[in-house]
Structure 1
Amino acid sequence: MKDDVKFLASDSLKGRETGTAGEIAAAEYIASRFEQIGLSKKGQQNSYFQTFSFKPKSDPHQQITFTNDQGDQMITGTNVIGFLNNEAKHTVVIGAHYDHLGMGGEGSLHREGEAIHNGADDNASGVAIMLALADTLQQAKNLQNNYLFIAFSGEEMGLLGSNYFTKNATLPLDGINYMINMDMVGRLNEERALAVHGVGTSPVFSQSLFSSNEDFKLVEHESGVGPSDHTSFYLNDIPVLHFFTGQHADYHRPGDDAEKLNYTGMKDIKDFIYTLMLDLDDNGELAFRKTKDESEEVPRFKVALGVVPDYLFDRKGMRIDGVSENKPAQKAELKKGDVVIQLGAQKVTDMMSYMKALSAFEEKDTTTVTVKRKDTILKRKITF
């Protein structure tokens, strides 16, 4: 896995932006790894590749549409698809996106000009675990599912590769049993907190996760909708699980490099997912269940505290995972690790109550934020 990440997150690929020479080199590398592992080709025209073309958005709210036209303004993305055929009735999809932000631009949180965004965690880590799972599953015996491995292109531009695949699947969609997605799985922390999204999309998932887990602190989320490629499959009534080790200060910045990943943690995640898949293997066709779209409940707000929330925190409050420069939180001397327990008159018990509290304020409003710092309760005045 370390070798795979080192190649994919090397400066020579210049951040693997969709349609660039760096992304094509990454696609060829993944295809060569599929061949080395012994997966058969399941792309277009007896190849590992599935290409799609689109015109980039001029308006951020515009919907991207796929086209067969090949003009100067078109971008071509490339999904890489390998197949492990066990002659089974159903197929499990194991996916991870391999594109990233190139030299920055839209989506980057880097403000100091162009720089290579190597995306080691986002998402060379997911691709590396996918390849390790492919190797392990290839050597397993008597499995009752087939396995389709997909390295998605265009995720950072709006889940384009997974969206295209579900509209142009290279095997029947109704034969897909469930989908596992890994996006940012390279920074397992000391608490061994691992977020799993989509747990509510099949009745069997929760029990299988529990029985397969030995030492992870699992943070489970019901919804099958989220900002990664599993969403494209959920919207086609396919059960999904998405694994995630949390955001960090290098997210969508040039500092997301290979030497910062927790490779022992990645191996442990790979082993856990493999154990989970073995547990699910004799369940036949999994029942699909629709879940509440948590994103629809998010209140709109006009101001920001200027923090990165810790999405793996599962106790009362909203724990701060990072503080942005020159924002209200920094000016109020809030720190990474502080737990926000009240904002103005609103008590904060979780992310949703934090966002509801934030939605009550406008620019230039002044209020008090209450945080717990270790065993101390602190109150700070902030102005938005």
Structure 2
Amino acid sequence: MQLKKSNLKTSVFNELNQVTDINGQHAVDPVHDKDGNRTTGRTKAGYTFTATYDAENRLSTINWTDKAGTAHERRYRYGADHLLGEIQVYVGGDLKQTTRLIRHNRLVLQERNTDNAITREYVWGAHNGGGIGGLLSLTETNAHYYYLYNPRGNVIGVVNQQNNLVAAYDYSPYGELTASNGTLNQPYRYATKRYDDALGFSYFGYRYYITQDRVWLTRDPSGESGGINLYQYVKSDPINQVDHWGLIGNNLFGPSTSTPRNFSPYLNPGYTGSSFMERIQEAVGNKFDNGNSCPSLSTSSGIGGLLREWAKIVTGILTGAAANNGGDGGGHDPINPDTWIENPGKEDIPSPNELIEIFKKIYL
């Protein structure tokens, strides 16, 4: 494998942490729209691209022209789960390829063409969240291939049924592809994410990561839960942190460094607003009191707040900080020996298993 020499890059950022200038061999000054989406930038080969977005700030189209004067375009469509569902590739104005992505639990199981015929099938196993390190095999034209990983969950190789290496990859710490070799053309690379060779973009699920620029294409859809810099990749610590879906960086070898304030953007982007609240009500059922007598455990403070208080109580029971005694009989429930939650409405506190099932119904 021949390693490629990386070029030193210097980036300039504005007060919104958006890249405004990149000095390098193929530098072009990036531009963002009012929603913080990158509308101009450069491809991996240095060609200037222009991008458009839909109303949900998801990448819709991207265009560039190569040095031979050939126009290139990608068009993206998304499914009801808000994840990427179809990619159309145009070259010279002609549609060259359509790839439809069939998912289960957000992981791609099949790729299909315009005739809905299966072109690729994937098998997943245990993974480090977001599918990282969990893609086991690829089946294409009746041939089977198997993935090799480094400890970070980056795909470093693919072997065929005869155990021959048919693809090999190497990366910079930030995910830029520094070397590749082999005869197999398959899309999963850094962090076991789908990679576009022409653009240098990795699709993490909720947004695209520009590997050559080391920043995200768009703002963090979870807001500032992961930090005030909405474009920063894993807090600029790719050695020790990993990002599962393009939201918040987590410790690779330990617990999460960030606790989401709101689960809904992380676990199912389709459940927002009133539809998300309806899903909560359906899951909770008769587990809450419609009255407003209790500021902590009633719908007057929001069902989401109710679930949070339940979680605190159940956590106290699990850790032994509180007894599962149903409270003191006076309308109070324990969180820990020194803290009690007002519960005059006699809310039915779910058991740990019941609470798990409630959260499954809401978020999965």
TM-score bracket, shorter-length normalisation: under 0.3
The structure richer in helix per residue is: 1
Q: TM-score, normalised by structure 1?
A: 0.26
Flag the structure with more relative contact order, 1 or 2, with Cα contacts below 8 A and sequence separation at least 6: 1
